[in-house]
Amino acid sequence: MLAHARRANVQHIVKLSAIGASSDSPIALMREHHVIDEQIRVGPARWTLLKPHLYMQNLLRAADSVRRDGWLAAPMGRDCFPLVDTRDVGAAAAIVLGNPVAHAGQVYALTGPAAHSYDEVATALSVVAGRAVTYEPVLPQAQETLLLAAGIPGWRAFDLANIASAYRPSDSAVSPDLPMLLGRKPRSLTEFLQDHRAFFTGSGPRTTNH
């Protein structure tokens, strides 16, 4: 696609990359992001890189186990992560695309307003779900085995099971970039969970607020 953009004489490329993208990442997706990011930096088009952290929407994968068993299982250990809402990432992308010249050559780290451990996520889920929710840290190897058994390709299963290893402590610092772009605070974990309450309670239509 990058070669096609060059043939088409695209003047500005806005790429959705990721915090943690690097050449030596243990995660293939992060290494691939880095390779493409570096190719874009070469030009000739102007560029802007948007680098979000983990998406809050990933928590929806646990909705069934939260609703049924009061259980949040994930291979995230006890570290804290500044989860970000995809709606805010999309809004930031729209702002950059609306005035790309003002954002040329910029790399924006897009995070939520606070970093949370998954124990804290479970506590927040308890409030929304109306029942106690417990976080169970799963070893990456065990998670990878489960994903492989579910038919996930090997490379993808490894990445999903080991995603926490993609982030250095500095990668999980809260960034000022998203509120600067949006002109407001990004959505908090509590706001996201309230917006998606129906997924975790099973009551009412499973819709999101926009």
Would you say residue 134 has pLDDT above 70?
yes
Residue 206 has pLDDT above 50, yes or no: no
Secondary structure (DSSP) of the chain? -HHHHHHTT-SEEEEE--TT--TT-SSHHHHHHHHHHHHHHH-SSEEEEEEE-SBGGGGGGGHHHHHHHSEEEES-TT-EE--B-HHHHHHHHHHHHHSGGGGTTEEEEE--SS-EEHHHHHHHHHHHHTS--EEEE--HHHHHHHHHHTT--HHHHHHHHTGGGG--GGGGSPPSHHHHHHTSPPPPHHHHHHHTHHHHH--S------
pLDDT of residue 140: 95
Q: In sequence order, which residues have a C-beta less than 8 Å from that of residue 144 and are 6 or more positions away?
A: 157, 158, 160, 161, 162
Q: Output the CATH code of domain 2-201.
A: 3.40.50.720
Nearest partner of 80 among 13, 174, 203, 197, judged by Cα? 174
What band does 207 get if pLDDT is binned at 50, 70 and 90? very low
Average pLDDT, stretch 110-124? 98
Mean per-residue pLDDT for 121-137?
A: 97
pLDDT the model gives residue 3: 81
Local confidence band at 123 (pLDDT 50, 70, 90 cut-offs) = very high
151-170 pLDDT, tens per residue? 999 999 999 999 999 999 99
Interval 11-20: pLDDT, tens: 999 999 999 9
Burial class (CB in 10 A: 0-12, 13-18, 19+), 56: buried
pLDDT at 204 over 70: no
Q: Read off the pLDDT band of 147 (50, 70, 90).
A: very high
pLDDT over 90 at 7, yes or no:
no
Report the pLDDT value the prediction gives residue 208, as an integer from 0 to 100.
44
The ranges assigned to domains in the chain are 2-201
Among 40, 38, 51, smallest CA distance to 5 is for: 40
Averaged pLDDT, 2-21:
91
Residue-averaged pLDDT of the chain: 94
**What CA–CA distances, in Å, run from 11 to 45, 87, 105, 185, 203?**
5, 26, 13, 31, 48
Mean pLDDT of 28-56: 96
Task: Give the mean model confidence (pLDDT) for residues 196-207.
Answer: 76
